[in-house]
Structure 1
Amino acid sequence: NIYLKYEPDIIHVHTEMPDFALWIFRKMAWTFWWIKPKYVRTIHSTQLWNSWKPLGRIIEPYYIKHKCNVAISSSTKECYEIAYGDSLPIIFNGLEEVPQKRFEGLIKGKVNVLFAGRFCPEKGIDTLLNVLKTMQDSEKYHFHIVGAGAYANEIRDFAKHNNRISVYDKIYGLSQYIGSFDFLFMPSRFEGLPLLSIEASLAHTPTIINRSPGLKDTFPIDWPLAVDNNSVEAFVDIFRNKLVDINYEQLADIAYKYAKDNFSIGKMQREYEAVYNLKIK
């Protein structure tokens, strides 16, 4: 009914359940010869169909056949090619700069570090805990941890005995406060293309990262606040040693320029419009 109401020239879907819904729609509508829209499909994750691998093996050949896949990062492109054998174009997601406000929970006299995300292994919450435990004698930093998930009780129990940690279920409008923090900490094991790190760069807040698929794509290849394999020792070395010697303003400017050049709304819009025009020619 929705298709008959709007009769779109192009249907743009995003992984994964919308992909499944469109595949079902096409299977049901193939006998109606006048229903022939074109498709564009954005792939947001480096790992597809995690709980439905057999379903993915059925559906992916359909989208490959119609040449409609677009990756959001070099990591999603690389992982898709390994999994399904098809090379994809890349269109980075775009973001606008958000006017910043001061976060009232900052601890004066400390270096305020933000972690925000699900409390799960994918986001490196276990690595965060190990870093906090290793650095529990440090007086320099205050960690602000925002989120919920399987590790919530463990995080909160640890925070009870450490006055250098604040835990929040959520901070409403977080993107407008990111610029208040000195650093963002992202020990993620994989991402599609994380918007949080881009938002931080646009707010001139440098991010300490695991050099993982998707996340590494949001910074220059030689980004100095990056570690391999979620090494707790390397993260601790950054906090205890490397942050002492960095030129903070210069690093923040490098991150801002990279985000501005690669992840603007206008750039994303122009590149998708070019894809749409090719489809309907």
Structure 2
Amino acid sequence: MVKSKIKIYHLITSINLGGAENVAINLVENSPDNFEFVIIELFNTKSSYALSLREDLKNKNIRFKTLFKGSKRLSLLVAPIKLFLLLLKEKPAIIHSHTDLPDFVLASTLKLRKLIGLKQIKIVRTIHNTQLWSTHNRIGKFTESTFIDDCIVGVSEASLEAYIQLRKKYKLPISINKNVIYNGCKIPSKGISDFKIKKEKFNILFCGRFEYQKGIDILIERIKEINSRYKENFEFHIVGNGTYYNEIVSLSKEQNNIQLYNAIPNIANKMHVFDFMIMPSRFEGLVLTSIEASFSKVLVIAAKAPGLSETLPKDWPLNFNLKESSSLLTIFDNIVAKNYNLDEMKEEAFDYAEENFSFDIMLKGYNSIYLK
């Protein structure tokens, strides 16, 4: 007799650029055959990156569904009803929710199910950030009040602590089923790169969303300061899109050492051509990009931020204070002065990533939760 597979829904905001989405897709692509996964997105993103990612999922025969094909805002009204109907039809055993908006939609759906007396479903929630419901307090409380002793996974110690503090703030019980499972990462391959590398300079990569969380506004100012000293020493390659896109375009026109690119699929396999990656984030959950860079032997210049600092060795010399311009400028002074042993630092970061962010350990951690 063939044993039936365990059907699991991965609920994400949208199939697009994002660490939480990458974790969900990695779990779906690499988990054992006794699970049947479906990726459920709240709304459809139509960027070239998103379209490429969808095509990749189709080619790998990974099922995905869109709850609403309109705007993000309207999806929060329509998606709970669509998800409610989908659960009635397909009856998954587990729903694995990633980040705040999927949590809100799931909470609304679960309240509908409870209202008509339907059996509750096993819930797994991964906490991908260290700032939770900081701007929508009432919605956050509505969402969190729905979940009692669900399976909570923090992608870092900092993100799990953020969950604990949020529950205390709302005077809600903290789940007894909580764990930290670090985001795991495979060692990237060295693929063909189309980046416009200037071999006579240090090439520095920023890749991510052009948003406040990622510190892109601070990076704009810091690049101007760095260029006032060392314009001929560094080439900045900025990859992504987002709210600050126009400001980045303006910067690239003002400064002749900036290359601008749209979001690039599978960038982990292409970043090996860079000397450094810069990450000026204000906060993170746990950043896969930083880990991928260390595995690619690209040195990470990182802000001291919750969820980002955990990805790098203790007392990492390329950590800087985001609020102090001199902190980052000192690092660039030291790079130009050749005060760092770059090869030694690459080995240290690689070894740290290999020891702490094993892809197999991440898979085993989640699979054990699904099977409980």
Alignment partner, residue 320 of structure 2: 227
Residue 198 of structure 2 corresponds to which residue in structure 1? 107
Question: Which residue among 133, 139, 152 is the counterpart of 1:55?
Answer: 139
Conserved in 2, the CA contact under 8 Å of 1:74 and 1:90?
yes
Following superposition, the deviation at residue 242 of structure 1 comes to: 5.1
Tell whether 2:123 aligns with 1:29.
no
> Is 2:340 the counterpart of 1:251?
no
Distance 1:172 1:269 in 2: 22
Partner of 2:31: none
**Structure 1 unmatched ranges of 5 or more:** none
State the Cα deviation string for residues 184-211 of structure 1 (Å, max 9, x = none). Answer: 0001101121121111111111100001
Matches for 1:119-138 after TM superposition, within 5 Å: 119-136=210-227, 137-138=229-230
Would the aligned equivalents of 2:110 and 2:146 in 1 still touch at CA under 8 Å? no
User: SS in structure 1 opposite 2:209?
Assistant: coil
Gaps of 5+ in 2: 1-84, 169-173
Cross-structure match for 1:96: 186
CA contact 1:40–1:70 (8 Å) conserved in 2: yes
- TM-score normalised over the length of structure 2: 0.68
Q: 2:244 — aligned with what?
A: 151
Deviations 1:170-189 (A, max 9, x none): 34432221111000000110
The corresponding residue for 1:212 is 305
Counterpart code for 2:244: Y
Equivalent residues of 2:235, 2:257 under 8 A apart: yes
Report which of the two has the higher share of strand.
Answer: 2
Q: Is contact 2:110-2:120 (8 Å) kept? A: no
Pick aligned residue for 2:208 from 112, 117, 122:
117
SS in 2 for 1:142: strand
Moved more, 3-12 or 217-226: 3-12
Give the 5 Å matches for 1:170-189: 170-189=263-282
Structure 2 CA distance for aligned equivalents of residues 169 and 156 of structure 1: 11
In structure 1, distance between residues paired with 2:119 and 2:255: 62
* Equivalent pair of 1:114/1:144 in contact (CA under 8 Å): yes
Which structure's relative contact order is higher, taking Cα pairs within 8 Å and 6+ residues apart?
1
- Give the letter aligned to residue 147 of structure 1: G
The answer to whether residue 259 in structure 2 is matched with residue 166 in structure 1 is yes
TM-superposition CA deviations, 1:82-134 (whole Å, max 9, x none)? 22233742111222222113534100211101111222322112221222111
Counterpart Cα distance in 1 of 2:261 and 2:282: 22
For residues 87 and 246 of structure 2, the distance between their equivalents in structure 1, rounded to whole angstroms, comes to 46
Distance 1:269 1:108, change over 3 A: same
State the aligned residue count: 277
d(CA) in 1 for partners of 2:93 and 2:205? 44
How many angstroms apart in 2 are the aligned matches of 1:119 and 1:30? 39
SS in 2 for 1:39: strand
* Distance in structure 2 (CA, Å) of the matches to 1:218 and 1:230: 20
Change (3 A) 1:41 1:167: same
Mapped contact 1:186–1:210 kept (Cα < 8 A): yes
Whichever residue aligns with residue 165 of structure 2, its letter is I
Letter in 2 for 1:13: S
Q: 1:247 Cα shift? A: 1.6
1:75 to 158, 173, 177: 158
Map of 2:71 onto structure 1: none
Contact 2:203/2:274, CA 8 A, preserved across alignment: yes
Contact 2:286–2:307 (CA under 8 A) maintained in structure 1? yes
Question: RMSD over aligned Cα, in angstroms?
Answer: 2.2
Q: Secondary structure at the match of 1:147?
A: strand
SS at match of 2:284: coil
Distance 1:275 1:172 in 2: 30
